[in-house]
Amino acid sequence: MKTARLHGIGDVRVADEPVPEPGPGETLVRVTAVGICGSDLHWFGEAGIGDATVSRPLVLGHEAAGVIESGPRRGTRVAIDPAITCGACRPCRDGYRNLCARISFAGHGDQDGAMREFLAWPSGLLHPLPDSVTDTDGALAEPLGVAIHALDLGHVRLGARVAVVGCGPIGLLLIAVLRAAGARHIAAFEPLPHRREAALRYGADVCLRPDILAGDLRELVGDGADAVFEMAGTADAVTLSLAAARPGGRVVLGGIPADDQISFQASTARRKGLTIAMARRMNDVYGRAIGLVAAGSFSLAPLVTERFGLASAGPAFGSAAKRQGLKVIIEPAA
């Protein structure tokens, strides 16, 4: 089978490897669609993310869908949950699988991901897709799940005023989720013009450049947003998020900074009495994500702006890194 591995900064190589043999409790899956995530771009551009670095050639890709190749579920189309958790540590027992102390995550650290033609994966992490949900939709169920988890952390109430800082794919999906959840007014902030346009299509009431002046920000959000979601991973985005929140509001930080550092002005957060939540991936929301797409609550298709075959994985990453579109999908069979 063909497999794409990251060997170092900007160095993705496609080679032939044996088809994996499923181990106990695993199922062989033929991969049909893989999304390139912002976290994948950290690996591609920095050969690491946070405190994790490439220690050996790594198969990236954690937004994935495929078809089961063997066993009683053969032929079933599935979305692939990338998080293999232990189920026994304190976070797992308390219901926080995303915070598992011994988690293995596809395309991270020593755990190979989905940018290959076949993978063997725990059977319980393969979620069936209804006929109305495409393979691409199945791959995008993962970033949609991240958006839903951020929504949960924001404690958004019906009729709330909210703000989203950073309108990459997850920010855009978050806007759609917030609209579906009954937010009354959604203000979005994004430096790239094509993403500002996309934010309006996905349901934002207004989307402005993030270098908005303090007076203009007050005119836009008044006393501030009930919940603000930072999805950019920059210091300026964090500063803007705290400025946009109302006293007593919540700020959810979901962006991943390149230097693994987050800082903000303590007096702003303290005087406003802000609650700051850190978003890590998602927590058991695949069923909700797939159900929303199947019900037609919103369409994921407009998010995809480019598709590549697995043989062109390197150029696919190069294109995604330019951030001239929205979501790049790799289709191993293409």
H-helix segments, 14-127: 38-46, 90-93
pLDDT at 48 over 90: no
Domain-ending residue, one of 236, 259, 278: 278
| Confidence band, pLDDT 50/70/90 cuts, at residue 194 | very high
Same domain, 8 and 139: yes
Identify any residues that bridge with 48 across adjacent strands, giving them in sequence order: 53
Residues 267 and 178 placed together within one structural domain of the fold:
yes
Q: What are phi and psi of 149, to 5 degrees?
A: -65, -40
Do 98 and 128 reside in the same domain of the chain?
yes
Specify whether 137 is located in the same domain as 205.
no
Report d(CA 14, CA 16) in Å as an integer. 7
Compute the mean pLDDT over every residue in the chain, rounded to the nearest whole number.
91
Are residue 272 and residue 291 in the same domain, yes or no?
no
Lowest mean pLDDT among 43-52, 90-99, 198-207: 43-52
Helix (H) or strand (E) segment spanning residue 112: none
Residues 55 and 113 in one domain: yes
Residue 116 DSSP one-character state:
B
- Pick from 13-22, 37-46, 78-87: least confident: 37-46
**219 has pLDDT over 80:** no
CATH number at residue 306: 3.90.180.10
> CB under 8 Å to 102, separation ≥6 — which residues?
85, 86, 89
The residues with which 104 forms a beta bridge, in sequence order, are 84
Say yes or no to pLDDT of 295 above 80: yes
Residues 93 and 186 in one domain: no
| Segment 154-192, tens digit of pLDDT | 999 999 999 999 999 999 999 999 999 999 999 999 999
- Asked if residue 154 and residue 124 are part of one domain, the reply reads no
Tokens 């999805």 sit on residue: 231
Task: Select the more confidently predicted residue: 223 or 307.
Answer: 307
Q: Look at the alpha carbons of 188, 200, 63, 259 in this order and tell me if their dihedral is positive or negative.
A: negative
pLDDT at 4: 94
Is the pTM higher than 0.75? The answer reads yes
Reported as a single tens digit per residue, the pLDDT across 262-281 is: 888 888 889 899 999 999 88
Q: How confident is the model at residue 42 (pLDDT cuts 50, 70, 90)?
A: confident
Residues 163 and 199 in one domain: yes
> Do residues 64 and 151 both lie within one domain?
no
Mean pLDDT over 273-299 rounds to 89
Residue 296 has pLDDT above 90, yes or no: no
What is the extent of the structural domain holding 234? 147-278
User: Do 253 and 309 reside in the same domain of the chain?
Assistant: no
Report the CATH number that the domain containing residue 160 is assigned in CATH. 3.40.50.720
Domains held by the chain: number = 2
Q: What is the pLDDT of residue 269?
A: 87
How much is the CA Rg of the chain, to the nearest whole Å?
Answer: 20
- Is there a single domain that holds both residue 16 and residue 74? yes
Assess whether pLDDT exceeds 70 at residue 215.
no
